[in-house]
Amino acid sequence: MQSKTPYIRIDNVSRDYGAVRALSDLTISIEKHEFIAILGPSGSGKSTLLRLIAGLDQPSTGKIFIEGRDVTDLPPHKRGIGMVFQEFLLFPHRTVRENLAFPLRMTRETPAHIAERLDWVAGVLSLTALLDRYPNQLSGGQQQRVALGRGLIANPTLLLLDEPLANLDRELRQEMEVEIRRYQKQLGIPFVYVTHNQEEALSMSDRIAVINNGRLEALGERQAIYDSPASPFVARFVGRSTRFDGVVEPDGRTVQLSNYAYAMPGISGIPARTQVDVFVKNERFHLAPFVEGEAGIPSKVADVVLRGPFLEYILETDRGERIIAVQSKRNDAAVVGDRVLLTWAAAHAHVFAKGV
Amino acid sequence: MADSQLQKRLFLDIPTAFLLLFFVLPLVALVVLSFWQTENYKIVREWSTINYRTLATEKAYVTFFVRSLVMAVAVSTTLVVLSWPIAYFIVRYGGRYKLIFSLLLVIPFLSGEVLRLIALQGMLGPAGLINGALVKLGAAPLRFIMYSNVASFIALLYLYLPMVVTTVYLSLLNFDFRLASAASACGAGRLQVFTEVIWPLNLSGTLVGFMLCFVPTLSASLVPRFLGGPNGQLYGMSIAQQFGESGTWALGAAMGVVLFLFSALALVTLSFGVNLRRTGFTGLGRQ
Amino acid sequence: MKPKTTEALIKWLLAAFLVLAYVFLYMPIVHILFASLSTRPNFPYPPELNFASYSRLYNNSVYQSAFANSLIIATCTAVLATVTGFLATVGVLRFGGRRALFYAVLFAAPLFVSEILLGISSMSLYYLAFGIQGNMVTAIIANSVHCFSFSFLIMAALLYRYDWRMNEAAIVCGASPMRAFWEVMLPLTWSGIMGSLICAFVLALNGLDISFYLLGATPTMPSVAWGALRYGVKPELYALSTIINFAVFVAILGLYLRIRSEARKNRRRASTAA
């Protein structure tokens, strides 16, 4: 892998609205063949970031480079991008065919070239039968595919997607997740995908950038973001976890839970006697039948929820806290009313000093 | 079920009957009258098409009609061109003051023709503001802005500007500007965004504004009477004369029917020339 | 040019044009205001503050009776137009069904027929059918037809986004249909009704063409004004004009404040409920 300028570079970008700082000093580099998800809660600034890359908005400070070119002052139609919107935003007064051909008409392509690209897009996205319909005659999923087609037809340098699946129902969403990732791998251009849905981000992307309150909380391979969260926010936001209070023992290497008789050895990097937050992903819990005297969190199974291939145990600890543990279905599964002992491997705990 | 049928009857049929009785019926009466004649201020109930023949052949009436048509087209087109920037600004940059801006437009409109003409005369008249100021400054007064077709033109612009702006404003208000962003992201430059997305999707609103101005202008009677000057006689003014001084009601009725037919024709042509679908109309249902 | 600068440039150009438009619209009105308060009505600059024309207006009996007639016509028209307009609006939006567009076009049709046509056609009808020249009642009815369309459009525009299921919700809670309407729908349509009343009232008050043909000799305020205008303007006319303009301004201002306070109340309720 030769070291070269990244395909897309977002350089120290900030966006202010008067006194409100929507984005602070974001720096992200995106490679040509990657699918990167911008993940964050509502109001985190992720859509703002996308609009800045698109050129629909200008950064207050910082620069944006596409293929080495400084595009910060370029309007959207000169950046060679494609974009897919959450509400699809298909032109209601044009047929599907005309919607798809629109970007090519804007760059004044020849009719022959337009026809060729139309055929390709219609084939890839299965739109051939719908070409003469109007957007309001299409279902949500169909509109979504047309929007995708319109974004891809002009061979853009990159594709920006703003929560495109948010308006579809769940089954369709899961189908489309697989499809969209497949298109990205086929086309070999970067997809920048904004979402608040961490399952989507985890299933579709190569890398994830987590944004909160306008700041970049974490940037890394999706597995790393999931397994090794860099901050309490990421630990809480990505995946479903439970938080415990704890304190670092005087030996500086063990974390003792404050409310339960359970400790995790092998923690490093945090000074002794610091108050900490301990995050454990719900699927990392280990449930065993309760045995008096063994280390762990004693709990009672209050309810069991069937979630497809998994079981969700709603546990009530002896202290009255509610914890959710996700386990795969087994023959010796616990039932409602059982007394269990909750434990987990120390490596699966994410420990952060409080107040960070 | 029966209850809802009754309600439907009540709500829809009463206004329909109201219109049929007091709107359609009078127009029918007008048509009938146009086929009769007046002699010595009395109506003679003899059927003939002489009125229409007069209108088609006598030079004066044809002149009035053509002049009115030209004036109406000129005024309406100019107003559409003038209204778009105004309405666009209010919708895009008005923010919280949108309502104020639009209401400020409505106020002059509600003053009514007569009062506004009074005001205009105060401005444009031979002794009015503009000419008075010019005289005071030692320049000669501008002849052409009073008692001329130019004066009528300006006056008609003045009268109907609020109406056209409001129509375009309402159309733009319901326009989803995100479509403009989408077009921009699809490679459309500023001008292209306007011609490909903004204009077509607001075309029906623009046409409604055009018609709302075209129809009254075509039949304007007060304006030309007062400001038109010697060459300014327009159709509507002539109609007024038929029903006023000359007492030739039948001829006036015929003129009225011609006016109505022509307006209807214009309306139909425009609405068929405009494919509703292609202006983004997706039905009366709310999204 | 940077996108930001082009954007700003366009914005300021448009703003300048807007200001120009408002100046165009209001300058004559303001000019008349000054003229009514001046002893030199033709060129009232620098402006004075002389109320002579107003007192002359007040004492002029011709204007007084004309104004009274106009008031009667305007009030009745406003009520009639608003009531029928309301029925039409509810009819189209709630019961329109597939023919909704057809009815909407029908109800908006009078707007596309000029006032003068309305006037002469009504006059013809009454003369041919009943041999009468016309009277206050016919004038009111004809004006109502014209204002009805305005009423319809105003109320339809405001009622368009009303969720009719609210009426159903009220009925399910035990309210009779009449009660549901009174308690649930009416408060939300107040601004539409007020707007319609004001608009119809003022249009009928100031409208010349329709009333003129249907009243003949009976004077209305605009017809007297028109007469005076043709034979040389008297300053009382300016005073009258200014008063009417001022009244319209106050009415619209009242409506605006009402709308704004409603919006504020709704926002407050929404934020406390959140």
Q: Which of B23, B25, B222 to mutate to test the interface with C (most CBs of C within 10 A)?
A: B23
Q: Out of B4, B14, B260, name the one closest to residue C87 (CB).
A: B14
Q: Is residue B72 part of a domain?
A: yes
Query: Is the pLDDT at B276 greater than 70, yes or no?
Result: no
Using a CB-CB distance cutoff of 8 angstroms, which residues of chain B are in contact with residue C106? Answer: 16, 19
Q: Note the pLDDT of residue B1.
A: 41
Q: Encoding tokens for residue C228? A: 């005076």
Nearest chain B residue (CA) to A55: B185
- Dihedral pair phi/psi, residue B211, rounded to 5°: -65, -40
Q: Is residue B155 part of a domain?
A: no
d(CA A67, CA A9): 8
Nearest chain A residue (CA) to C5: A73
* B245 and B217 fall within a common domain: yes
User: How many domains are there within chain B?
Assistant: 2
ipTM for the predicted complex: 0.83
C267 interfacial to chain B (CB closer than 8 Å): no
B107 interfacial to chain C (CB closer than 8 Å): yes
Distance from CA of C135 to the nearest CA of A (A): 50
Containing H/E element for A23? strand A20-30
Nearest chain A residue (CA) to B189: A77
d(CA A338, CA B81): 78
Using a CB-CB distance cutoff of 8 angstroms, which residues of chain C are in contact with residue B264? Answer: 112
| Residue B203 identity | L
Q: Note the pLDDT of residue B285.
A: 46
Tell me the β-bridge partners of A297. A342
Using a CB-CB distance cutoff of 8 angstroms, which residues of chain A are in contact with residue C3? Answer: 55, 58, 73-75
* B59 and B13 fall within a common domain: no
Provide the pLDDT confidence category of residue B148 given band limits of 50, 70 and 90: confident
Q: Note the pLDDT of residue A2.
A: 46
Least confident of A100-104, A263-267, A325-329, C128-132: C128-132
Using a CB-CB distance cutoff of 8 angstroms, which residues of chain C are in contact with residue B253? Answer: 120, 124
Give A289-335 as a 3 state SS string: ECCCCCCCEEEEEEEEEEECCEEEEEEEECCCCEEEEEEECCCCCCC
Find the domain containing B24 and state its range: 1-32
Say if the Cβ atoms of C124 and B113 lie within 8 Å. Answer: no
Q: Note the pLDDT of residue A116.
A: 94
C5 interfacial to chain A (CB closer than 8 Å): no
Nearest chain A residue (CA) to C3: A75
A155 interfacial to chain B (CB closer than 8 Å): no
Q: Which of B33, B45, B110, B277 to mutate to test the interface with C (most CBs of C within 10 A)?
A: B110
Provide the 8-state DSSP code for B196: I
Distance from CA of B161 to the nearest CA of A (A): 28
Query: Is the pLDDT at B122 greater than 80, yes or no?
Result: no
d(CA A297, CA B163): 74
Query: Is the pLDDT at C113 greater than 90, yes or no?
Result: no
* B64 and B28 fall within a common domain: no
Contacts of residues C251-257 at CB distance under 8 Å and 24 or more positions apart, as own/partner, are C251/C198, C251/C202, C252/B103, C252/B106, C252/B107, C252/B110, C252/C198, C255/B103, C255/C191, C255/C194, C255/C195, C255/C198, C256/B99, C256/B100, C256/B103
Closest of A197, A148, A206 to residue A174, by C-alpha: A197
B1 interfacial to chain C (CB closer than 8 Å): no
Query: Is the pLDDT at A29 greater than 90, yes or no?
Result: yes
Provide the pLDDT confidence category of residue B127 given band limits of 50, 70 and 90: low
Mean local confidence (pLDDT), C182-210: 83
The rounded mean pLDDT for chain B is 82
Sheet of A310-317, strands arranged across: A286-289, A339-343, A297-307, A310-317, A322-328
Task: List, in order, residues 6 or more apart from B79 with CB less than 8 Å away.
Answer: B157, B160, B161, B164, B209, B210, B213
Say if the Cβ atoms of B280 and A103 lie within 8 Å. Answer: no
* B13 and B63 fall within a common domain: no
Least confident of A100-109, A119-128, C26-35: C26-35
Q: Out of B8, B103, B260, name the one closest to residue C117 (CB).
A: B260
Q: Note the pLDDT of residue B62.
A: 84
Q: Which of A149-163, C30-44, C213-227 has the highest mean pLDDT?
A: A149-163
Q: Which of A88, A91, A152, A167 to mutate to test the interface with B (most CBs of B within 10 A)?
A: A91
Q: Is residue B140 part of a domain?
A: no
* B22 and B83 fall within a common domain: no
Q: Note the pLDDT of residue B282.
A: 57
Q: Is residue B152 part of a domain?
A: no
- Spatial contact of A154 and A107, defined as CB atoms under 8 Å apart: yes
Q: Note the pLDDT of residue B81.
A: 96
- Spatial contact of A205 and A37, defined as CB atoms under 8 Å apart: yes
pLDDT in tens, C72-92: 999 999 999 999 999 898 888
Mean local confidence (pLDDT), B112-126: 78
Q: Out of B16, B30, B284, name the one closest to residue C101 (CB).
A: B284
Q: Is residue B89 part of a domain?
A: yes
Q: Note the pLDDT of residue C156.
A: 85
Distance from CA of A41 to the nearest CA of C (A): 19
What domains are there in chain A, each with its CATH number? 8-234 (3.40.50.300), 240-353 (2.40.50.140)
Provide the pLDDT confidence category of residue A204 given band limits of 50, 70 and 90: very high
* B14 and B79 fall within a common domain: no
Q: Is residue B255 part of a domain?
A: yes
Least confident of A87-96, B143-152, C75-84: B143-152
Q: Note the pLDDT of residue C274.
A: 52
C-contacting chains (≥3 CB pairs under 8 Å)? A, B
Query: Is the pLDDT at C48 greater than 60, yes or no?
Result: yes
Q: Is residue B21 part of a domain?
A: yes
3-class DSSP state of C215: helix
Using a CB-CB distance cutoff of 8 angstroms, which residues of chain A are in contact with residue B192? Answer: 77, 106
Q: Note the pLDDT of residue C158.
A: 78
Say if the Cβ atoms of A160 and B185 lie within 8 Å. Answer: yes
CATH code: domain of residue B220: 1.10.3720.10
Q: Where are the domains of chain C?
A: 1-50, 61-273
Q: Note the pLDDT of residue A215.
A: 93
* B94 and B173 fall within a common domain: yes
Nearest chain C residue (CA) to B236: C116
Nearest chain A residue (CA) to B199: A93
- The dihedral through the CA atoms of C71, C77, C79, C82 has a sign that is negative
C61-273 carries CATH number 1.10.357.10: no
Least confident of B272-286, C22-36, C140-154: B272-286
* B250 and B273 fall within a common domain: yes
Provide the pLDDT confidence category of residue A115 given band limits of 50, 70 and 90: very high
Query: Is the pLDDT at A127 greater than 60, yes or no?
Result: yes
Task: List, in order, residues 6 or more apart from B42 with CB less than 8 Å away.
Answer: none
Q: Is residue B122 part of a domain?
A: no
Provide the pLDDT confidence category of residue B233 given band limits of 50, 70 and 90: confident
Q: Note the pLDDT of residue C90.
A: 86
Q: Note the pLDDT of residue C237.
A: 78
